[in-house]
Amino acid sequence: MSRGGRRLVACAALAASVGLAGAVAVTKPRPAPVIIVAGETNGQLTPCGCSEPMMGGMPRRATAIQRLRAGRQAILVDQGDLTPAAGRQDEIKAETAVEMIGAMGACIWNIGERDLLLGPAYLSSLKARFNGTVLAGNVRTSTGAAVGNPMATVTLGAGTQALRVGFVGVLDEALAGRNAASAGFRLTPAAGAAQRGRAALTGCAYRVLLYHGPAERGVTAARAAGGFDLVVTAHETEAAGRTGGVRTLCAGSNGRAIAWAGLGPGASGGIVRLGADIPESAAMRRMHAAYVRRVRDEGLAEQLPRTPLPQGAGYVGAAACATCHPAAHSAWLGSRHARALAALRRTGQETDPECLPCHVVGLDSAGGYAPGARAELADVGCESCHGPGKAHAADATMPLRPGAMEACIGCHVPEHSPRFNREAYWARIRH
């Protein structure tokens, strides 16, 4: 048996009998086996935001998967797009994400277009970390090397009760676009790769097309290939149902949900949204804490590029405003803005360059906040909205930037602040 085959058998055994908390005792007939789909994490290892409801996160995902597995055989697959691949921090995130999905018992990782942006060498190193099979049936490097396998099979159970499930994994070539070529990859048509993979799936009781792309194109490719029992798609709202008469499944974006489908005639399926009602896995929290330490230890926040301020401009901190503007300063002190950095300290992310810009003053400017320096610029202060105040503090006739609401929407975006309402939020800080 090949290394990949041994991996899949081991993953299937784990998926069938072991959750993060240990073996599952079965005292009654098991329900139908299931395929569990996660992915499109896009770097959201934990929920990021300042207002509820914040959805998603690996710690909740692990608990939800463990619950779905209880008392049944299951196969966990990941639909890729681990991170946005925007720099060193995303490389650390990708490594952490691979370790996390491996610990959850993922058997298959289907490559997404954002995974390709990590580049051939780095993606190869991630594949070596993954204790499962990587699928990428229509993707090669620019030198012709295969990025992943075209197909894989997973066997649940043994003997006469064994159930063999076949998977074909492809990436929508239109979705990958020109970025794939610039990153060092080339794609062939997904439909052709799906057809070749389907033909190779012999002796399978159930056939699944992992199509990293929209459902409509995935279903078209499945039909052209001769038909699949299930098409798993990406880049759409989470859903479990049928598209054009074909059974489809999508876990949605940013890791906010997982999707599942029972195997066999009449088996059901569904979506589990990862809200605050799902407890967080302690094992995943520990892995995330290790990621946070790596970001801190590499000093990524200190390495951020900083834009020089205009001559004579500089930051002074909110305390410098209190003498002339006591009422406004008092209103600020009573707001959550005055405790913005403390929110990051509670999770150990006070040196995280992805989080800091919306929790301190001037992180992207020369002379602005930096970890361990300019403590007076911690939190969301007066200058977050009004701009550098050095000249105004020295001479009150020097104008400041009006505190327009546009200053708010840079951080209060739907992704991180889903309940943001201009009028309601302004009422909380009116001054």
What is the Cα 122 distance to its own chain's centre? Answer: 18
Query: Does 184 share its domain with 272?
Result: yes
List b or e across 284-307, with b for residues whose CB sees 16 or more CB atoms inside 10 angstroms: bbebbeebbeebbeeebbeeeeee
Confidence at 20, pLDDT banded by 50, 70, 90: very low
Mean pLDDT of 193-197: 97
Query: Does 349 share its domain with 314?
Result: yes
Both structure tokens of 37: 């789909």
> Is the confidence at residue 17, as pLDDT, over 60?
no
- The CA distance from 297 to 217, in Å, is 44
Phi/psi at 340 (5° precision):
-65, -45
Whether residue 163 is contained in a domain is answered as yes
Query: Does 126 share its domain with 178?
Result: yes
Query: Does 313 share its domain with 385?
Result: yes
Query: Does 180 share its domain with 94?
Result: yes
> Is the confidence at residue 25, as pLDDT, over 80?
no
**Dihedral angle of Cα 181, 184, 189, 190, to the nearest 10 degrees:** -120
Whether residue 296 is contained in a domain is answered as no
pTM for the whole thing? 0.88
- The CA distance from 188 to 173, in Å, is 7
Query: Does 277 share its domain with 315?
Result: no
Mean pLDDT of 296-321: 93
Residue 262 confidence (pLDDT): 95
Least confident of 57-66, 126-135, 166-175, 376-385: 376-385
Supply the range of the domain harboring residue 393. Answer: 308-429
Q: How many CB atoms lie within 10 A of CB 390?
A: 17
Tell me which H or E stretch contains 384: helix 382-386
Whether residue 378 is contained in a domain is answered as yes
What is the Cα 67 distance to its own chain's centre? Answer: 21
- The better pLDDT of the pair 27, 43 is held by 43
Query: Does 196 share its domain with 315?
Result: no
Query: For residue 106, what is the domain's CATH number?
Result: 3.60.21.10
Residue 50 confidence (pLDDT): 63
Domain limit, last residue, from 258, 290, 322: 290
- Domains of the chain: total: 2
- The CA distance from 356 to 379, in Å, is 9
Query: Does 320 share its domain with 246?
Result: no
Query: Does 285 share its domain with 405?
Result: no
**Average per-residue pLDDT for the chain:** 90
Confidence at 159, pLDDT banded by 50, 70, 90: confident
Query: Does 331 share its domain with 213?
Result: no
Query: Does 35 share its domain with 117?
Result: yes
Q: What is the pLDDT of residues 284-307, one digit of tens each?
A: 999 999 999 999 999 999 999 999
Whether residue 3 is contained in a domain is answered as no
Query: Of all residues in the chain, what percent carry a pLDDT higher than 90?
Result: 75
Least confident of 48-52, 180-184, 197-201, 330-334: 48-52
Whether residue 303 is contained in a domain is answered as no
Whether residue 285 is contained in a domain is answered as yes
Q: Which of 232, 151, 36, 148 is nearest to 222 (CA)?
A: 232
Whether residue 188 is contained in a domain is answered as yes
Residue 152 confidence (pLDDT): 97
Q: What is the DSSP string of 112-146?
A: -HHHHTT-HHHHHHHHHH-SSEEE-TTEEETTS-B
Query: For residue 360, what is the domain's CATH number?
Result: 1.10.1130.10
Query: Does 93 share its domain with 218?
Result: yes
Phi/psi at 206 (5° precision):
-145, 135
Tell me which H or E stretch contains 8: helix 3-17
* Cis status of the peptide bond prior to 53, with omega within 30 of 0: yes
Domain limit, last residue, from 234, 264, 290: 290
Query: Of all residues in the chain, what percent carry a pLDDT higher than 70?
Result: 92
The highest-confidence range among 185-199, 326-340, 415-429, by mean pLDDT, is: 185-199
